[in-house]
Structure formats: C-alpha cells, structure tokens
Amino acid sequence: MSPLTQALRQATPVPGRIPARVWTQAIRPRTLSAGAMPVLLGIALAYGKGVGRALPALAALLGALLIQIGTNLANDYYDFKRGADTSERLGPVRVTQSGLIPPATVLFAALLCFGAATAVGFYLVALAGWPILALGLLSLLAGFAYTGGPFPLGYLGLGDIFVFLFFGLAAVAGTYYVQANHLTQAVWFAAAAAGSLGTALLVVNNLRDVVTDARAGKRTLVVRFGVRAARIEYCALLLIAFLAPILLWVSGLAKAWVLLAMISLPLAIAPLRRVLNQSGADLNPALGETARLQIAFGVLFALGLWIG
C-alpha cells in the first residue's frame, strides 16, 4: 500500500481539533528562510535585469514554500518512524515523536503540501515548458525522498548535496527562468550563495544531533566524517556565500550594489563561534543565528541585485 493510500485511510484530521500553534510548530517556520531566500534572489535578479514578472515570481515563491513545508512534515514523520526522533532529541519538539499530531495525519499534511505544490507547478510549466516540469518533478521527488522511501537521502549522507542543489541552484535558476525563459551567468553566483547558507543550517542541525543520528543509523556527513569535518564545512559554506557578491562585482556581472550583502557579515560571528566551540543542545541558538544571517544576507543581496 502506498504512503498516500495509507494516509488517506488512517488520517482523520478534524477542523479545530489540532491547535494552529501545533501546526505552526510542525511546519518549522524558522526553517522557511531556506526556501524563501533563493526565490527572493531569483526574483531580484530578474527585476534587476529587466525581465521580472510578478505572477510567475509569486507562484515560484508559493511553490517553494509548499515544498519546504511538505519536506519538513515528511521529515517529522519519517524521522519518527525510523527512530531518529526519540525522547533523547536535543532540538525543538517534533509533533510526531511527541504525540501532538498523529503520524498518519502528519504524513497526510505533507502529501497535501506536495499536491498543492504540484498544482502551482502546472501554472509554471504552462509558462516555461519542460525544463520547469523536469525541475518540479525532481524537487518533489527529492523533498519526499529526503527522509522517505527505500533510499532516504538524509540517512545516506546526501542531505547536504540535496539542500545545496534544490535550495540553491535549482530554486534560484528556476525562479529566474520562469520569469525570463532563459538563464544568465549571474544566476549561478546567487544560487551558490543561497545553497551555501541553506546547507549551513543543515550542518548546524546535524552537528547538534550527531550522537542520536549515529544511534538511529542516520549516516549524515557529520556521522560519516566527524565533527571537525563538519566545522570545516560550515566555515567553507559561509566563505562561499560571502564570496559570491564579491565575485559578481569583480567579474562585471553586477554593480557594486551587490556588496550590500557584506553588511550582514557581523551576524556570522556568533553562530561561527558556537559551531567551532560547542556541541549538542548548546548549538540550538546557532540554528536561529544562522537563520537570521541567512535572512539578512538574502534581503541585502537581493536589494543589491535588484538595484544593480
């Protein structure tokens, strides 16, 4: 029986039974910057190049957020089912593991989000054709397969690659393409920055959970290569992100306005210190700090791309 069939048979969500605050907790709003930032950069770059279009841009943002939320819900469900989320969890409470929402209902909600994202995708495919169809199908598949299916990406150490590709390269390029119907070199610099900061969030999460992940057989890169390697990865990801606007300017692909992103550099200091010196639950503040860095960098970088 397919996961969709199981969810439809078992989930019986009743309006008002589960408080809105619990659903808000389930979708993990602090992580949504990872889905919004690359789309924001793709929109800003398109408008900066004079090819921006409001409706495709808004549809791309809605689709990205739906996939992000669907992925978060699927992770909540499958991490519980696979034993990665237990009472020993160091991070925020997960609604499935804690019993706040029945597992089948969480899976049902995830599939609804993926279905809604597919509906949005039909509009974008009508505008931009088969490249967006292929990208959309791969994004949906990857979102579900991150922790679901027979070969979950997050459990095989492929989560970092997944985030960089789909919350960086694919999201920025796809957003730009649905507006312009072509790509430009500048897209890849912006995409690298977005993917790097999105992956940095995952690195902090995996560093915090390295002990419980190892026990559950979740072979993240931190589990595979150790804490020192993860700390080096975090530093490298921040470096890539802040190099991107500089290289855009130096290469003549953007005006000096893109250097506005550098104003957010001081926000990198606190999470970097935590990542380099702390472990376990002490890394929880670093998640929020990295997310704030991502938002500030993204807004400033987008403003520079739009003006330039």
- The whole-number pLDDT of residue 11 equals 44
Instruction: Output DSSP code: residue 167.
Output: I
Q: Is the dihedral of CA 51, 54, 56, 61 positive or negative?
A: positive
Q: What are phi and psi of 233, to 5 degrees?
A: -60, -45
Q: Which two tokens stand for residue 11?
A: 């989930």
Q: How far apart are CA 153 and CA 169, in angstroms?
A: 18
Q: How far apart are CA 117 and CA 188, in angstroms?
A: 24
| pLDDT averaged per 10 residues in sequence order, the chain, 308 residues | 47 59 81 88 95 94 90 83 59 71 88 91 90 86 74 81 90 95 95 96 92 85 94 97 97 95 97 94 92 95 93
Structure confidence by residue, pLDDT tens digits, 103-120? 888 889 989 998 999 999
Residue with tokens 């020192």: 228
- The whole-number pLDDT of residue 149 equals 67
Distances (CA, A) of 31 to 35, 129, 176, 213, 240: 8, 30, 22, 20, 20
Q: Identify the CATH number of the domain in which residue 217 sits.
A: 1.10.600
**Domain with 189 in it:** 3-26+33-307
Q: Which region, left, alpha or beta, applies to residue 2 given φ > 0 means left and ψ of -120 to 50 means alpha?
A: beta
Q: How many domains does the chain have?
A: 1
Q: Which two tokens stand for residue 205?
A: 């999460």
Burial of 63 (0-12, 13-18, 19+ CB in 10 A): buried
- The whole-number pLDDT of residue 158 equals 86
Q: How far apart are CA 198 and CA 194, in angstroms?
A: 6
> Considering the entire predicted model, what is its pTM?
0.85
- The whole-number pLDDT of residue 83 equals 62
Q: How far apart are CA 170 and CA 180, in angstroms?
A: 15
Cα angle 284, 190, 123 (rounded to 5 degrees) comes to: 95
- The whole-number pLDDT of residue 8 equals 42
The SS3 assignment for 123 reads: helix
Contacts of 218 (CB under 8 A, 6+ apart): 79, 82, 84, 154, 155, 209
CB 63 within 8 A of CB 124: yes
